Structure 1
Amino acid sequence: MTSSLHPAWDFAREIRLILLRFVAFAILLANLLLAGNEEGEGARLVVVVSYFIISVAAITTARYIPGRSRLKTLFVVLDALLVALILYGHILTEPVARNHNLTTTSLVVAFILLVHVGLKLDRRLVLVFSTIVLIAWVSMLVITAVRHHNTADAVSRLASLLNQDLGLTVSFGFTSFAIYLFARDHDRTRKEALKADQRRLNLSRFFSPLIVSELQERGEALGLERRNAAIMFVDLRDFTSFAETVPARELASVLAEYRQLVSHTIFGYGGTVDKFIGDGVMAVFGQPRPTEDDADRALACALELVEALNEWRDHGVRNGYRALDAAIGLHFGAVVGGVLDSGCHSEFTVIGDAVNVAQRLETLAKSLDSPLVVSSELLARLRKTVPCAIWFPKNGVSLPGRRLPIDIWYLRRESGVAGTSDPDYDTGRVHTAF
Structure 2
Amino acid sequence: MRSSLSADWDFERETRSILLRFVAFAILLANLLLGGGAEAEGTHFAVIICYLVISIASVMSARFLPGRSWLKTLFVVLDALLVALILYAHILGGPVTENHNVTTSSLVVAFILLNHVGLKLDRRLVLVFSGIVLVAWIGMLAVTGARHHTADAVSFVAYFFNQDLGLTVSYGFTAFAIYLLAKDHDKTRKEALLADRRRLNLSRFFSPLVVADLQEGSSALELERRNAVIMFVDLRDFTSFAETAPARQLAAVLAQYRHLVSGIIFDHGGTVDKFIGDGVMAVFGQPTAMKDDADRALACALDLVDALNDWKHQNLVGGYPALSAGIGLHYGSVVGGVLDSGCHSEFTVIGDAVNVAQRLEALTKVLGSPLVVSSALVKQLRKPAPSALWTVQNEVALAGRRLPIDIWYLQTEVDSSVPSPVAGGAKTPLQRPSLQSSPFTAPDVGIG
Does the 8 Å contact 1:206/1:274 carry over to 2?
yes
Matched, 1:109 2:109: yes
**1:120 corresponds to:** 120
CA distance in 2, matches of 1:271, 1:162: 72
| C-alpha distance after superposition, 1:262-287 (max 9, x if no partner) | 22332233211112233221101111
Note closer, same or farther for the CA distance 1:115–1:412 as it changes in structure 2 (3 Å cut). Answer: closer
CA distance in 1, matches of 2:380, 2:24: 72
CA distance in 1, matches of 2:3, 2:290: 40
Q: C-alpha displacement at 1:76, in angstroms? A: 1.4
| C-alpha distance after superposition, 1:287-321 (max 9, x if no partner) | 11123443343234323433443444445445555
| Counterpart residue identity of residue 82, structure 2 | L
CA distance in 2, matches of 1:342, 1:283: 21
**2:136 corresponds to:** 136
Note closer, same or farther for the CA distance 1:425–1:386 as it changes in structure 2 (3 Å cut). Answer: farther
Q: C-alpha displacement at 1:7, in angstroms? A: 3.5
**2:240 corresponds to:** 241
Note closer, same or farther for the CA distance 1:157–1:311 as it changes in structure 2 (3 Å cut). Answer: closer
Note closer, same or farther for the CA distance 1:297–1:48 as it changes in structure 2 (3 Å cut). Answer: closer
Matched, 1:183 2:150: no
| Counterpart residue identity of residue 73, structure 1 | T
| Counterpart residue identity of residue 104, structure 2 | T
CA distance in 1, matches of 2:301, 2:3: 41
Deviates more, 1:319-328 or 1:189-198: 319-328
**1:198 corresponds to:** 197
**1:414 corresponds to:** 412
User: For 1:108, what is the secondary structure of its paired residue?
Assistant: helix
C-alpha RMSD of the superposition: 3.7
Note closer, same or farther for the CA distance 1:290–1:127 as it changes in structure 2 (3 Å cut). Answer: same
**1:418 corresponds to:** none
Does the 8 Å contact 2:234/2:326 carry over to 1?
yes
User: For 1:203, what is the secondary structure of its paired residue?
Assistant: helix
| C-alpha distance after superposition, 1:127-183 (max 9, x if no partner) | 2212332233234334444555845664x7656555443443344234323433332
Q: Structure 2: where are the runs of 5+ without partners?
A: 420-425, 441-448
| C-alpha distance after superposition, 1:325-350 (max 9, x if no partner) | 32112223333333345566554222
CA distance in 2, matches of 1:355, 1:331: 8
CA distance in 1, matches of 2:31, 2:11: 31
Matched ranges for 1:54-203 at <5 A: 54-148=54-148, 150=150, 154=154, 161=160, 163-203=162-202
Does the 8 Å contact 1:228/1:332 carry over to 2?
yes
Aligned length: 425
Does the 8 Å contact 1:375/1:406 carry over to 2?
no
Does the 8 Å contact 1:231/1:330 carry over to 2?
yes
User: For 2:281, what is the secondary structure of its paired residue?
Assistant: strand
Matched ranges for 1:1-16 at <5 A: 5-7=5-7, 10=10, 13-14=13-14
Matched, 1:326 2:325: yes
Q: Structure 1: where are the runs of 5+ without partners?
A: 416-420
Does the 8 Å contact 2:25/2:52 carry over to 1?
yes
Note closer, same or farther for the CA distance 1:18–1:302 as it changes in structure 2 (3 Å cut). Answer: closer
| Counterpart residue identity of residue 326, structure 1 | A
Does the 8 Å contact 1:365/1:372 carry over to 2?
yes
**2:444 corresponds to:** none
| Counterpart residue identity of residue 204, structure 1 | S
CA distance in 1, matches of 2:371, 2:99: 93
Does the 8 Å contact 2:398/2:405 carry over to 1?
no
CA distance in 2, matches of 1:387, 1:12: 47
